Amino acid sequence: MHNLKKPLLSLLGILSIILFALLVCVTVWQVFTRQVLDNSSTWSEELSKILFVWLSFIGSAFLFGERGHIAVDFIARRFGPRARRVLAIVVQVVIIAFALGAMIWGGYLASSIAWNQNLTALPFTIGWVYLVIPAAGVFITVFALMDLIALWRGEEEPYPEIEDPEEPLRPQEAAEVSAVATESAPASAPASAPGSTPATSAPHTAPEGGRK
C-alpha cells in the first residue's frame, strides 16, 4: 500500500506547487495591470478564482493522504485500543461514503450540468472548474481505502501519538523549580556584619636581633 501511496502523494504535491505558483503569478499580473498600467486584465481575475478552487481541492486530497487534517480525538483516546480501532474503521467508512456520494457522484453531476456553460473571459466552460471535485474525491477514496485496510490488518495506529509542544510552566510549578534550584545551590560565604571592616592578617616581619 505504501508503494502506491507515495507516488500519489508526490503527484498531488507537485500539482499543488504548480497551481500555487500559477496563482501567485496571475495575481501579481492582475495587480500590476491594475495599479501600474491602469488597465486591469480581464482574464486574470477569473483565472485566479479557478486556480484557487483547484488548489483547494487538490491540496485537501494531498493533506488527507498525509493524515494532516484536524481531528478532534479527545474522546476517542479515552477508549481502549480495540474500541479506538473500531471507531477509526467506522470513520474511514464514513469518509469513503461521503467521497463516493458527494464528491465523485455529486461532482460529476455538477460538472455535466455546467459543461456547456461558457466562462466570461476564458475559452473554457464552467464544467472544467467543477471537474476537480470528482477528481479529488477519487484520490480521497483511494487514500481512505488504504488507511482502512491498514487499520483492519493492524499495520497502522488508529490515533498516533503526537508530541505536544513545550508549554510554559505554571506559577506553582515555577515556584517549585525555583525552590529546588535554591536548595541545590552551594552555600555562599557568610556576609560580614554591617559597619565592620574585614579582618586582615598582620604582615609577618622577622624579629630584629641585637637591638638595644
Residue ranges covered by each domain of the chain: 2-69+80-153
For the stretch 120-151, pLDDT in tens is: 878 888 888 899 999 999 999 999 998 888 88
In this prediction, residue 211 carries a pLDDT of: 45
CA pair distance 182, 159, nearest whole angstrom: 42
Q: Please report where in the chains the cell 622577622 appears, as a residue.
A: 206
CA pair distance 111, 129, nearest whole angstrom: 8
Task: Give the Å distances, CA to CA, from 51 to 16, 65, 70, 190.
Answer: 10, 21, 24, 74
In this prediction, residue 88 carries a pLDDT of: 82
| Cα radius of gyration (the chain) | 35
- Residues 179-210 as b or e (16 or more Cβ within 10 Å = b): eeeeeeeeeeeeeeeeeeeeeeeeeeeeeeee
Q: What is the pLDDT along the chain (212 residues), one digit of tens a residue?
A: 567 788 888 999 999 999 999 999 999 998 888 888 877 788 888 888 899 999 999 999 999 888 877 777 777 777 777 887 888 888 889 999 999 999 999 999 998 988 888 888 788 888 888 999 999 999 999 999 988 888 887 766 666 666 554 555 455 655 665 665 666 555 544 544 455 555 544 454 444 444 44
In this prediction, residue 161 carries a pLDDT of: 63
Amino acid at 92: Q
The grid coordinates listed for 177 are: 523549580
In this prediction, residue 100 carries a pLDDT of: 93
- Residues 32-59 as b or e (16 or more Cβ within 10 Å = b): eeeeeeeeebeebebbbebbeebbebbb
CA pair distance 33, 39, nearest whole angstrom: 6
Backbone phi, psi, residue 40, to 5°: -60, 135
Looking at residue 159, the DSSP 8-state letter turns out to be S
Q: Please report where in the chains the cell 559597619 appears, as a residue.
A: 195
In this prediction, residue 170 carries a pLDDT of: 58
In this prediction, residue 177 carries a pLDDT of: 57
